[in-house]
Structure 1
Amino acid sequence: MLAELGGIDPERLDDAELLRAALSESLVGAGAQVRQIVTERFSPQGATVVAVLAESHASVHTWPELGGMHVDVFTCGDAADPVAAVHDLARRMGATETSLQVVDRGGIPRTVTEPISEGLTRTWRLGPVHTSADTGFQRVVVADTAHGVTLFCDDERQSTEQTQLTYHEALVWPGALLTRRLDRVLIIGSSEGVASEMAVEAGATHVDHVDIDTECVRICAEHLPYGYTPASLAAAERGDGPVHLTYTDGRQFVLDSDERWDLIIVDLPDERPDEPDAQINRLYEQEFVQACADRVTDGGVVVFQAGSPAVWRDATLKSAWTRFDAVFGATGGRAVYIGCEEHEWAFLAGTPSDPGEPGEVAATRLASMPARPETIDETSLRHRLVAPLSLRRLTG
């Protein structure tokens, strides 16, 4: 735990014995075992206090001239709560400003700090951690959060118990409604298995699910309360039923295949334009979008997870929109925007041939489907499939 405390009386920050007592009492109150404390006062002002703990160590360094102090509390195990210690120390010192940063150093993580955009992160406080593993492809964490059981991959939230249905229905249903027929479906990524099962509910009789990360898929089946169960995953791995799961590189699977699907869904972590060599970027390139377009049946549809429509983080969405317009517009088809007001993400569908007005086509077909989504109806389809003006301006 790293903290900056501000707005403190300079005299208190120059009192080494006061600092010693305040740090000791805060640590003990938070469950730490204090073994030894060393203090050092500097000239002309300032002090450092270091505490040796059974759990590790803690230290403070003060700048009276600035009215502030830096605090570092490093603990191992679960007995001591460094956050509680810092908050109590801030109270004892009379701080009016408190800035905390929790850094996990080995063991089970207590927080996940998710990158959002340049200079902006989101911190998830974790409850019980169900599993934390390095799969060889990514670091996977499944833990309880304020949104229920949550899946993180490389510190990015992938899905949560509270919001996954909204996300997955926006991913699967519009494409399922736009395709001329829904029999054969290919899904790349989407490790939780929700999309595969949802495609079957929508009427698909054969779903090829391709994922490169075997361990991640099995972790999801074991620990998430949605998507595959261990039993349904085992059946998919055997090809016993409508879902056939293959563990391989999704990009190469498509490039090597001469099969055709009515609907292809690509559901992957976000494109990483700031990491040009990241392997994930290869599945967002125009070449791969074109390969998917070449492998749908007449009247088929390609759907990609495409990033956020928020104006301050929509760069990847704009790039994807331009690619889709280039690929599908070249054959007389079109790129179709799929919005989801109740979630942070947007999706893109590509149709090699023009299906007509997408929202109206999807809304009309919904009545004839064997099932209905819970978060989408005819009215929402008519407006969700209208691209924001910023995207429409990009491609005229």
Structure 2
Amino acid sequence: MKFAGRHVLAELHGVPAETLNDQPALRAALRDALTGAGATVLQLVAHQFSPRGLTLLAMLAESHASVHTWPDAGAAFVDVFTCGDAADPDRAVTLLAEALGARRVHRQSVPRGETGQVEEPMGAGLHRVWQVSEVLWSGHTGFQDVLIGRTAHGVTLFCDDERQSAEASQLVYHEALLVPALLLAPQVDQVLVIGSSEGVVSQLAVAAGARRVDHVDIDAECVRACARRLPYGYTPEALAAAERGDGPVHVHYADGWAYLAETDRRYDVVVVDLPDERPEDPAAQHNRLYGVDFLRRASSVLTDGGVLAGQAGCATLWRSETLLRSVERFGEVFATVLHYGSDEHEWSFLAGTHRAVEDPVRTVTARLPELPYRPVTLDADALRRGAVLPHATRRPR
């Protein structure tokens, strides 16, 4: 048995007042509806209010159901929650509404437990609901809650309920993050990746000519779960080789801040790929890797002309705070900053270098034909379009 169930919340309207105050009739209607929907009623209790109104509670083998009536309004609140697949809570609400003669029914169904849905926070008072048809792996790693499951976008990675990548669009995301930086850098030989647990960026960097990629991630359990379950990025065999340092990719399970303090290597490109900044949650350990101090530390390991690229948030008006802050921070640290807004719409990326590049857009579009890696999801026109920062970032705050 999986820890999973379905919770149906409903309001019945247009029910005769006398029906909503008739305890024997309501008890019979609720029992029949639950039994007809496949549930097993263990006990049913009711309380009569004065001067009118009823509350009924049914204890089920599958969980519970309740009805709270408002005769003066001709309405009732109904709540049916069942675990497993034997009972159908939606069917129970339908049967009860028919028995009571309801004229209108408003309902919502909430999958709960190991399968069902993920509610991704998009902004204040706004969530996006992902239907998850199958959970492939889930757990708390010590750093974050991770879920890998099948959605309409294919196999999808969620960290703390935020979608990090999906089979259908992961290449759009990862090319948008890495390719502009590769094109802005004078050379691509040594690359450092901080975060990006899937391993796609490491593979793209090698395809673009990097002889060594150091991949630093604090969450070993997440990286290994991605290699086992995601159909993109590292395979288990490739990850095992990278953990041994056998080949161009070297995986280090460490805190990115600490790694930068200890390394004596210099990199042509540094990539910082983290979940979105969460200023509302001071305990989110990755927030510190968005600040100016971290950008300065990361830029200190760059070669002459090297480029730092980072996930910088979202341009959408109601969730653009991270992007607004990131543009200011990059502008404080780097002489040249190049923006790329991806075709996925939600994600913006910034690439910065201490070199003063007179026309960075012309530079990257001119170098595109020479890049050993051939991008699939962007071209010169996309680079020109994506370089335009949202209006909100170009006006004084």
Same-fold call, TM cutoff 0.5: yes
What stretches of structure 1 move > 6 A for 4+ residues in a row? none
State the partner residue of 1:257: 263
Instruction: Give, in whole Å, the separation in 2 of the partners of 1:91 and 1:300.
Output: 70
Instruction: Give, in whole Å, the separation in 1 of the partners of 2:351 and 2:95.
Output: 52
**Aligned-pair CA distance for 1:43:** 2.6
What aligned pairs does 1:326-365 form with structure 2 within 5 A after superposition? 326-328=332-334, 333-365=335-367
Match of 1:368 among 363, 367, 370: 370
Match of 2:176 among 165, 170, 173: 170
Q: Deviations over 1:65-89 (max 9, x none)?
A: 3454333333333433445544665
Match of 2:63 among 52, 56, 61: 56
Instruction: Give, in whole Å, the separation in 2 of the partners of 1:242 and 1:36.
Output: 65
Instruction: Give, in whole Å, the separation in 2 of the partners of 1:19 and 1:124.
Output: 36
Q: Deviations over 1:119-164 (max 9, x none)?
A: 1112222211111111111111111112111111111111111111
Instruction: Give, in whole Å, the separation in 2 of the partners of 1:164 and 1:363.
Output: 23
Q: Deviations over 1:164-209 (max 9, x none)?
A: 1111111111111111111111111111111111111222121110
Match of 2:121 among 100, 115, 124: 115
Identity across the alignment (%): 52
Instruction: Give, in whole Å, the separation in 1 of the partners of 2:84 and 2:328.
Output: 50
Greater alpha carbon shift after TM alignment, 74-83 vs 316-325? 74-83
State the partner residue of 2:3: none
RMSD: 2.3
Instruction: Give, in whole Å, the separation in 2 of the partners of 1:208 and 1:251.
Output: 14
Q: Deviations over 1:371-392 (max 9, x none)?
A: 2111101111112112122212
Contact 1:299/1:355 (<8 A) preserved? no
Matching of residue 5 in structure 1 with residue 11 in structure 2: yes
State the partner residue of 1:311: 317
Structure 1 alignment gaps of length 5 or more: none
State the partner residue of 1:151: 157
State the partner residue of 1:324: 330
Secondary structure at the counterpart of residue 312 of structure 1: helix
Secondary structure at the counterpart of residue 326 of structure 2: helix
Instruction: Give, in whole Å, the separation in 2 of the partners of 1:354 and 1:148.
Output: 42
What aligned pairs does 1:138-287 form with structure 2 within 5 A after superposition? 138-287=144-293
The 1:4/1:209 distance shift into structure 2, 3 A limit, reads: same
**Aligned-pair CA distance for 1:112:** 1.4
Greater alpha carbon shift after TM alignment, 365-374 vs 36-45? 36-45
Secondary structure at the counterpart of residue 272 of structure 1: coil
State the partner residue of 1:42: 49
Secondary structure at the counterpart of residue 393 of structure 1: coil
Q: Deviations over 1:253-302 (max 9, x none)?
A: 11222321111111111111112342111111110011111111111111
Secondary structure at the counterpart of residue 297 of structure 1: strand
Matching of residue 386 in structure 1 with residue 394 in structure 2: no
Instruction: Give, in whole Å, the separation in 2 of the partners of 1:66 and 1:131.
Output: 47
Contact 1:57/1:74 (<8 A) preserved? yes
State the partner residue of 1:100: 108
Instruction: Give, in whole Å, the separation in 1 of the partners of 2:288 and 2:95.
Output: 49
**Aligned-pair CA distance for 1:101:** 6.0
TM-score, length-scaled by structure 1: 0.91
**Aligned-pair CA distance for 1:37:** 2.6
The 1:319/1:234 distance shift into structure 2, 3 A limit, reads: same
The 1:218/1:341 distance shift into structure 2, 3 A limit, reads: same
Please tell me the residue identity of whatever aligns with 2:327: W
Please tell me the residue identity of whatever aligns with 2:130: W
Aligned residues: 389
Matching of residue 74 in structure 1 with residue 76 in structure 2: no
Contact 1:358/1:385 (<8 A) preserved? no
Contact 2:13/2:76 (<8 A) preserved? no
The 1:95/1:114 distance shift into structure 2, 3 A limit, reads: farther
**Aligned-pair CA distance for 1:90:** 5.5
Please tell me the residue identity of whatever aligns with 1:338: Y
Secondary structure at the counterpart of residue 144 of structure 1: strand
Contact 2:10/2:79 (<8 A) preserved? no
Instruction: Give, in whole Å, the separation in 1 of the partners of 2:103 and 2:208.
Output: 57
Please tell me the residue identity of whatever aligns with 1:216: C
Instruction: Give, in whole Å, the separation in 2 of the partners of 1:281 and 1:26.
Output: 51
Contact 1:163/1:343 (<8 A) preserved? no
The 1:352/1:5 distance shift into structure 2, 3 A limit, reads: same
Please tell me the residue identity of whatever aligns with 2:385: H
**Aligned-pair CA distance for 1:26:** 4.4
Instruction: Give, in whole Å, the separation in 1 of the partners of 2:358 and 2:283.
Output: 38
The 1:85/1:225 distance shift into structure 2, 3 A limit, reads: farther
**Aligned-pair CA distance for 1:9:** 2.6
The 1:357/1:111 distance shift into structure 2, 3 A limit, reads: same
The 1:59/1:389 distance shift into structure 2, 3 A limit, reads: same
